């Protein structure tokens, strides 16, 4: 079985989209894959309840309880490795990962970013796109590397920037596309494994 471990920090809407796709498209039968666990660095992450309701193992590892970023990542790797992951999927996991952690899961670590990378890595992507006068925005699924938001691109979706649109409105429209392309990209990667 190809196990997927999803890391979240909040509501987990992308995680939920992945879980729904796995259920609706019967990934277990078709791809020999399943979402095995959802791990959060925050005990109050709302996505944990969703995962539990869908029979998915959940774990919490508080980054504030660790002495360093390296110590947290080492403990996180131990939690993840208990589930023997084929893929580790970042879905709103608001932590910058250490190079050692990224190297451990090289080729198996995915992220989704709310811009058309390489444009606007980091935070506040929608506001930055509007301020730059972009006609298009979007989202990118990419492999994670030690450098933030620059890994090989797996999939992208484009959304037009509408006249007078706020960053919040653009973010909502981009999120709709995230929920479509992330599960699709994961399914395609799993079908090649």
Give the chain as a 3 state SS string.
CEEEEEEECCCCHHHHHHHHHHHHCCHHHHHCEEEEEEEECCCCCCHHHHHHHCCCEEEECCHHHCCCHHHHHHHHHHHHHCCCEEEEEECCCCCCCCHHHHHHCCCCEEEEECCCCCCCCCCCHHHHHHHCCCCEEEEEEEECCCCCCCCCEEEEEEEECCCCCCHHHHHHHHHHHHHHHHHHHHHHHHHHC
| pTM (predicted TM-score) | 0.96
Which pLDDT value is given to residue 102? 97
179 is catalytic: no
For the stretch 34-54, pLDDT in tens is 999 999 999 999 999 999 999
For the stretch 129-168, pLDDT in tens is 999 999 999 999 999 999 999 999 999 999 999 999 999 9
For the stretch 2-11, pLDDT in tens is 999 999 999 9
| Given the residues 113, 126, 142, 179, the one annotated as active site | 113
Which pLDDT value is given to residue 72? 97
**What is the pLDDT averaged over residues 121-128?**
96
**What is the pLDDT averaged over residues 10-17?**
97
Which pLDDT value is given to residue 65? 92
Report residue 172's pLDDT band, with 50, 70 and 90 as the boundaries.
very high
Mean of per-residue pLDDT scores for the chain: 97
Residue 193 has pLDDT above 90, yes or no: no
């Amino acid at each position: 079985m190809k196990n997927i471990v999803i890391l979240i920090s909040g509501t987990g809407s992308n995680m939920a989209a992945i879980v729904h796709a796995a259920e609706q498209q019967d990934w277990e039968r078709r791809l020999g894959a399943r979402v095995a666990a959802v791990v959060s660095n925050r005990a109050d992450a709302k996505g944990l309840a969703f995962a539990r309701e869908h029979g998915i193992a959940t774990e919490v590892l508080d980054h504030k309880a660790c002495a360093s970023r390296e110590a947290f990542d080492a403990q996180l790797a131990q939690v993840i490795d208990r589930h023997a992951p084929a893929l580790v999927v970042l879905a709103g996991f608001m932590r910058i990962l250490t190079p050692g952690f990224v190297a451990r899961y090289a080729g198996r670590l995915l992220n989704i970013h709310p811009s058309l990378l390489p444009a606007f890595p980091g935070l506040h992507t929608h506001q930055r796109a509007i301020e730059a006068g972009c006609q298009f925005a979007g989202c990118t699924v990419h492999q994670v590397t030690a450098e933030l938001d620059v890994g090989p691109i797996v999939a992208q979706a484009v959304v037009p920037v509408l006249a007078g649109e706020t960053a919040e409105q653009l973010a909502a429209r981009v999120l709709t596309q995230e929920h479509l392309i992330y599960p699709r990209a994961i399914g395609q990667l799993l079908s090649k494994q």
